[in-house]
Chains A and B, each alone.
Chain A
Amino acid sequence: MSSIVSLPDQATARIPKRNYITNENGLMSWLLTGDHKRIAMLYLISITFFFFIGGALAGLIRLELLTPQSDLMASDTYNKIFTMHGVVMIFLFLVPSVPATLGNFLIPIMVGAKDLAFPKINLLSWYLYLVGGGMTLYAMINGGVDTGWTFTTPMSTHFSNTNVVTTGLAIFVAGFSSIFTGLNFIVTIHRMRAPGMTWFKLPLFCWAHYAASILMVLGTPVLAITLVLVVLERTIGIGVFDPTKGGDPILFQHLFWFYSHPAVYIMILPGMGVISEVISTFSRKRVFGYTAVAFSSVAIAVFGFFVWAHHMFIMGVSNYAVLVFSLLTMLVAVPSAIKIFNWAFTLYKGSITFETPMLYAFGFMGLFTIGGLTGVFLGSAGTDIHLTETYFIVAHFHFVMVGGMLMAFLSGVHFWWPKMTGRMYPEKISQLAAVVTFIGFNFTFFPQFLVGMLGMPRRYAAYPQEFQVLNVFSTAGASILGVGYLLPIIYLIWSLKYGEIAGNNPWQATGLEWQIQSPPLTENFTTIPIVTQDVYDYEWLERQKEHEVTHVG
């Protein structure tokens, strides 16, 4: 199997002495840095930490569900575990995963700037994330929360005896981390593009982050105010969601889902940006239908704001409201389909290799297709009645979030690992990990579609005997999946010391980030580039290889 990897001669190659990691020494230089690349690395460590906490919680869930009875732990404990799993995975892992690590690292370089627009706010963003994460951990240790990550009122305001206020405030703080990241991205992309970098020369990674940032900036504040109201209702008893005082719990649902639906697009769009970059690099050609993919990203963001009530179809909202939201949900599914086909056709007449990032990208395409199509099952109101609130929903969102987003994240981490660290990861074991993850994932989550179709409700600690076989399958798959996620941690850390030296452009890819050294200088470029060639211009790259051109920086 051929490979496009092109590394410098390992005998003589060295990591460039001056780079963003060696530029300054000492803990304080990291903790007070304004360098977007260092902040990205700080985020990478933090979100990995929270990912494993969320993953451990998932392991406990699957262990409990091996048997129909609630025997491993008390029901209350189980309720807290799935709540914390949701909170940690969504707010502390998925939302910041690609934007805060890869986005932070790459967007300034991709647009040709020396840093994001507001480096200090970027650092503040990380600290807010840590505070939010710390408060969540505190809530966990202090007894957990058992309302479900959706904080449904009146359960969260009047009936739960757990740390709702702490967790609500934790998410409030983490939300601002997200808002500031999005704000930084939008301003950077608008105002700091290098000369010649027009909108349609931007890599699709930037378009995807731009769209996600619009959602972050406009949607997250609504979650913030909703959480404030929940905290106020729980602490001093204002009655905005309390039916006995004239409030309406359905109002909470509207306000909550107004953010939380766009949130899922905040989570997936950056991942889609990664896929665009990876598929084009490993097919050696421009993404098919660049303009369509760029506009689809923005379309998903815009439409994504108008579909929130599809989480409320059975809650007694008016039938006519359901019609409107169901129709809009069908519309928002179309741009995602467009993207999948465009990526597939990028392969047409390409020159394809199967390095690890590409394997993860293929996994993404298959699993996201399944996840997305099952979303259509749910967007159609009549079938939603049967399928909602069952394991079908759980399977649906895990397919798009884990099969989709997490695979995209891993694809991106592997793809840009040589750029960020200067070293290559070991290819064979990483390909193995990708395959193991894919198999484990399908074993874990596909049975959940079946058991949900049969009616098994979600958030159940105990379930009828007849659902056990499928649950055992699912747990078995989860153990395989766990291995698939542990392997990268091990070999990526290993590669920091023992990985091959990568050089500037191990993938022979286009894009400004591959024209500079690995790891990059703190200021990215010694001189601001003037962009003249097209994005994904592999023809230019081929010509360049024929005539040796020296790089600057």
Chain B
Amino acid sequence: MGLSPVIWQFLVKWMVNFAIIPPEASKIAPQVDALLVFMTLVSLVGLVLVGLLITGFSIIYRRDKNPVATQIEGSTLLEATWTIIPLGLFLVMFVWGSVLYFRIYTPPPNAMNIYVVGKQWMWKAEHPGGQHEINSLHVPNDRPIQLTLISQDVFHSFSIPAFRVKREAIPGRYTTVWFEATTPGTYHLFCTQYCGTQHSGMIGEIVVQTPEEYKRWLAGSTSGISLAQNGERLFASLSCNACHNGQPDARGPSLADVYGSKLMLTSGSPVLVDEAYLRQAILNPSAHITQGYAPIMPTYQGQISEEGIISLVEYIKNLSSNYRVQQTLNTSTLLPEQPDKPSGKAAGAQGVTKP
């Protein structure tokens, strides 16, 4: 960063202690703060410069001292100077900021995904292992975490000032953001997009834990059934497997390993199968038809909640073969370690409700 790490740490500590910036609790936070400090310095210099010019000229050329003004047309050199220098500085900030932006919104492939559903007026977080939280989010530190956000009603915005990240939760499509928490602790979670009466009540906490603590939390909060397992039940109860049964003559394409692949559509163009695509395929199947298949899939709009869709998406993400569906679901890495705990006895599938 051009600045000695020691001085930088001191500066940050001072700023946090004097409540100028929130604590830095993610890997990206110091990088954002570095740009913020740069911008503040440039602004200070700019402001001082303008202030000095105004005050200086006002004193030197006040009427008492300078009764006759000298008419000056201008100066192309000065114009060029104060066009090029600000432009240059702004472009530096543009490049630096854009790099940061891409970093914050491009999750690494190995990020652990947690779903967050925003609704008036609470946040619901869904961990892959089936843990549900309201207005809080437990995450392990030193691990990339991706959040897949959606709203059930109006625009909300998931904001973690300590991590310097924020993302809108929009009705109708997924948005994502990722972070890697560095310091265990509890940090503010705010909804920052005005969403109605209890907008200021839609706050909570981000709890960053060490991996061991996190494992214990997972074990203690599990509902016994992971998102993917719930999705498996929904897949059956909504009769998805009637067409998507993996047989060669099936009416619907096989979904094994479809996540992450490039699917060829009837329109002739390929599409990347990500969470957003899967959600669209469930709700608006006619918009993108897989090549070689007829547009006969019914829509599930209105019959399934966002949590239900999340479960289905998780199920499909983890599906690597259609053979004996239950057995192919590799749930052991998703659920916390449970010695002698019977599995798969959860009562009924969750998520088949009208929103």
Contact = CB atoms under 8 A, between A and B. Distances in A.
Interface of A: 1-4, 70, 75-76, 79, 146-148, 152, 154-155, 158-160, 243-244, 246, 248-250, 283-286, 288-292, 313-316, 319, 322-323, 326-327, 330-331, 333-334, 337-338, 340-342, 344-345, 347-354, 362, 365-366, 369-370, 373-374, 376-377, 379-386, 388-390, 450, 453-455, 457-464, 466, 538-539, 542
Given A148-B194, A352-B61, A370-B43, A384 B50 contact: no
Interface string B61-83: 11110111111111100110011
A159 to B, nearest CB: 5
A337 B21 contact: no
Given A152-B155, A341-B78, A348 B61 contact: yes
B35 interface: yes
Contact of B62 (A147, A314, A352, A384): A352
Given A290-B74, A341-B82, A382 B61 contact: no
A353 B62 contact: yes
21 contacts: A75-B198, A75-B199, A243-B171, A289-B78, A290-B74, A314-B166, A315-B168, A316-B173, A319-B101, A319-B105, A330-B90, A338-B79, A348-B61, A349-B70, A366-B54, A379-B90, A382-B99, A453-B21, A455-B22, A459-B194, A466-B19
Contacts of B103: 382
Nearest to B100: A382
A130 to B, nearest CB: 29
A2 B65 CA distance: 10
Contact of B94 (A147, A327, A365, A464): A327
B193 A389 contact: yes
The 6 closest A-B CB pairs, nearest first, are A382-B100, A455-B161, A243-B172, A380-B97, A381-B101, A347-B57
Nearest to B87: A334
Given A155-B154, A249-B171, A374 B43 contact: yes
A334 B284 contact: no
Nearest to B31: A382
B153 interface: yes
A4 B71 contact: no
Contacts of B154: 152, 154-155, 158-159
Given A351-B69, A455-B161, A457-B159, A160 B196 contact: yes
Given A2-B64, A351-B69, A383-B36, A288 B74 contact: yes
Nearest to B67: A351
Interface stretch (B184-192, B240-248, B338-346): B184-192
B168 A314 contact: yes
Contacts of A246: 284
Most buried by A among B21, B120, B161: B161
A389 B54 contact: no
Contact of A146 (B83, B90, B190, B196): B196
A43 B203 CA distance: 44
Contacts of B54: 344, 347, 362, 365-366
A497 B64 CA distance: 32
A313 B105 CA distance: 11
B78 A316 contact: no
Nearest to A285: B69
A352 B167 CA distance: 50
Interface in B1-36: 19-22, 31-32, 35-36
A380 B39 contact: yes
A384 B97 contact: yes
Given A351-B69, A381-B101, A383-B97, A4 B200 contact: no
Contacts of A386: 32, 36, 161, 164-166
B196 A350 contact: no
B171 A330 contact: no
B270 interface: no
A380 B167 contact: no
A331 B83 CA distance: 10
Given A154-B171, A155-B196, A369-B47, A326 B97 contact: yes
A405 B155 CA distance: 31
A316 B202 CA distance: 21
Nearest to B56: A347
A353 B54 CA distance: 12
A460 to B, nearest CB: 4
B53 interface: yes
B72 A349 contact: yes
B90 A334 contact: yes
Interface in B197-213: 197-201, 203
Interface string B99-140: 111111110000000000000100000000000000000000
Classify the interface of chain B: helix, strand, loop or mixed: mixed
Contacts of A379: 90, 93-94, 97
A330 B93 contact: yes
Nearest to A282: B63
A459 B199 contact: yes
Contacts of A381: 97-98, 100-101
Given A285-B71, A351-B69, A376-B43, 11 more contacts: A75-B201, A158-B153, A322-B101, A326-B97, A362-B54, A373-B42, A376-B90, A383-B39, A384-B97, A385-B32, A453-B22
B194 to A, nearest CB: 4
Contacts of A389: 157, 159, 166, 192-193
A244 B50 contact: no
Contacts of B172: 243-244, 248-249
B201 A462 contact: yes
Contacts of A351: 61-63, 66-69
B200 A462 contact: yes
A154 B66 CA distance: 61
B296 to A, nearest CB: 19
Contacts of A250: 170
Contacts of B301: 244
A287 to B, nearest CB: 9
B194 A385 contact: no
B166 A385 contact: yes
Given A348-B57, A369-B46, A334 B83 contact: yes
B39 A390 contact: no
A463 B71 CA distance: 54
Between A315, A322, A383, A461, the greatest number of chain B beta carbons within 10 A of the residue's beta carbon is seen for: A383
B21 A377 contact: no
A286 B50 CA distance: 19
Nearest to A315: B168
A76 B197 contact: yes
Contacts of B323: none
B58 interface: yes
Contact of B101 (A160, A249, A385, A464): A385
A227 B99 CA distance: 36
A388 B22 CA distance: 15
A501 to B, nearest CB: 23
A200 B22 CA distance: 51
Contacts of B168: 314-316
A351 B172 CA distance: 62
B166 A347 contact: no
A383 B100 contact: yes
Nearest to A463: B200
A354 B72 contact: no
A39 to B, nearest CB: 35
B175 interface: yes
A352 B57 contact: yes
A464 B188 contact: yes
A79 B301 CA distance: 32
Contacts of B20: 450, 453-454
A315 B170 contact: yes
Nearest to A70: B200
A20 B335 CA distance: 83
A313 B104 CA distance: 12
A344 B50 contact: yes
